[in-house]
């Protein structure tokens, strides 16, 4: 189990990770989701003891990474597939890693076999494609046969074949009962891979739940209400205990269907110009949750993006 408690990292005045607490349960695939620049990589580096937290701590099975004896036997990680000397062969790269943690030399050939790099084991790693580098990184992570695995954006930049391979591989690791913590900025990818989700934005925790719950909650059906004067209706909805939010001139109601809202509108004598059910897409929900926390806003990303809303029934 990985546990982050009040994890904080600041670079000068910039808070990259802000009082982040979450736990990664044993024996499951947990997705670590957030937009680019949300602090995912920094968090992972702190878990591995590469970066020192400004505050808080990250523990693996109750221990700091630095206190682990022969850590490759406990935690395997792939943070960046390019962290290999380009003139060193894949085998030599794995050999020195294996030796540093007193792992048997034959384990090198085993992991090369697992990731399918046996044929190119003696080629220099600098000539590898991104997909091959990724496999080499996974081989390195598996060297010590660890129970805990960390992957940072493992499908980034891969072709569809590579993505499929990684996805299947994650499932296989989970079936073997390992704890997998994998980051991504793509919710659709995580929905396919992860059973649990830790969602962060701007270094802060947004939610931690099972993927099922997150998706159910994120794709909650809402109703869009448009009219010249919605004050009374809004008050009536609030009285009925229904949550509403403003979206431009519209009112978005969640937890009440069109029929009930229509009747409520009639009772409060509200003129309606539109009453339409909405079903948010997964990505749109994710955007909504983390929207305020995207570090670099663009003009287009701001404001409502109707293209991502899929009105029901169309």
Partner 1 sequence: MSVLNAERIKLLSTRSPWWCALLAVALPVGLTALIASQAQIDPGDNGGSVQVTQMLASLGRAVVMVMAALSVTSEYRFGTIRSTFQAVPHRTTALLAKTVVTAIPAMLIGAVVGFGSWAVFRAINSFPALALDSAEDWRAVAGQIVVYGITAVLALGVGILIRQTAGAVAVLLVYALLVEGLVGLIPKIGDDIQHWLPFFAADRFLGVQAGPPIDDLPLGPWGYLAYFAAVAAVVLTAGILSAQRRDA
Query: What is the binding site for partner 1 (CB under 8 A)?
Result: 45, 48-52, 65-68, 71-72, 77, 79-80, 82-89, 92-93, 95-97, 99-102, 140
CB 59 → partner 1: shortest distance, Å? Answer: 14
**Structural contact between residues 36 and 201, judged by C-beta atoms closer than 8 angstroms:** no
| CB nearer to partner 1: pick between 104 and 304 | 104
Distance in angstroms (rounded) separating the CA atoms of residues 16 and 136: 29
SS3 143: coil
| CB nearer to partner 1: pick between 41 and 290 | 41
CB 167 → partner 1: shortest distance, Å? Answer: 25
E-strand stretches of 163-226: 179-184, 196-201, 204-210, 221-226
| CB nearer to partner 1: pick between 35 and 76 | 76
CB 189 → partner 1: shortest distance, Å? Answer: 24
SS3 246: strand
Taking alpha carbons only, the member of 31, 9, 37 closest to residue 293 is 37
Sorted by sequence, the CB contacts under 8 Å of residue 295 that are 6+ apart come out as 35, 36, 37, 38, 202
| CB nearer to partner 1: pick between 105 and 238 | 105
The helix (run of H) or strand (run of E) holding residue 268 is none
CB 44 → partner 1: shortest distance, Å? Answer: 11
| CB nearer to partner 1: pick between 92 and 114 | 92
Taking alpha carbons only, the member of 103, 131, 104 closest to residue 117 is 131
């Amino acid at each position: 189990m990985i546990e982050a408690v009040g994890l904080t990292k600041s670079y000068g005045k910039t808070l990259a990770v802000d009082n982040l607490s979450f736990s990664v349960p044993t024996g499951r695939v947990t997705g670590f989701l957030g937009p680019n620049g949300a602090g995912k990589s920094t968090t992972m580096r702190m878990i591995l003891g590469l970066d020192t937290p400004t505050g808080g701590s990250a523990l693996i099975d109750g221990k700091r990474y630095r206190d682990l004896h022969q850590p490759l036997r406990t935690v395997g990680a792939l943070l960046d597939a390019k962290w290999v000397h380009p003139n060193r062969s894949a085998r030599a790269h794995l050999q020195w890693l294996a030796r540093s943690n007193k792992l048997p030399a034959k384990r090198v050939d085993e992991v090369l076999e697992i990731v399918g790099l046996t044929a190119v084991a003696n080629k220099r790693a600098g000539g590898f494609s991104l997909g091959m580098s990724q496999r080499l990184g996974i081989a390195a992570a598996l060297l010590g046969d660890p129970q805990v695995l960390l992957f940072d954006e493992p499908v980034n930049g891969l072709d569809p074949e590579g993505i499929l391979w990684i996805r299947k591989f994650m499932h296989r690791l989970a079936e073997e009962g390992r704890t997998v913590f994998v980051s991504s900025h793509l919710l659709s990818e995580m929905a396919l891979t992860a059973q649990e989700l830790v969602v962060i934005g701007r270094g802060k925790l947004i939610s931690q739940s099972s993927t099922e719950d997150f998706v159910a909650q994120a794709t909650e059906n809402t109703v869009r209400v448009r009219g010249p004067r919605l004050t009374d209706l809004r008050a009536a909805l609030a009285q009925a205990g229904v949550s509403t939010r403003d979206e431009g001139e519209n009112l978005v109601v969640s937890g009440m269907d069109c029929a009930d809202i229509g009747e409520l509108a009639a009772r409060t004598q509200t003129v309606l110009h539109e009453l339409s059910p909405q079903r948010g897409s997964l990505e749109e929900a994710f955007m909504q949750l983390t929207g305020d926390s995207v570090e670099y806003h663009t003009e287009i990303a701001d404001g409502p993006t109707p293209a991502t809303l899929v009105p029901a029934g169309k």
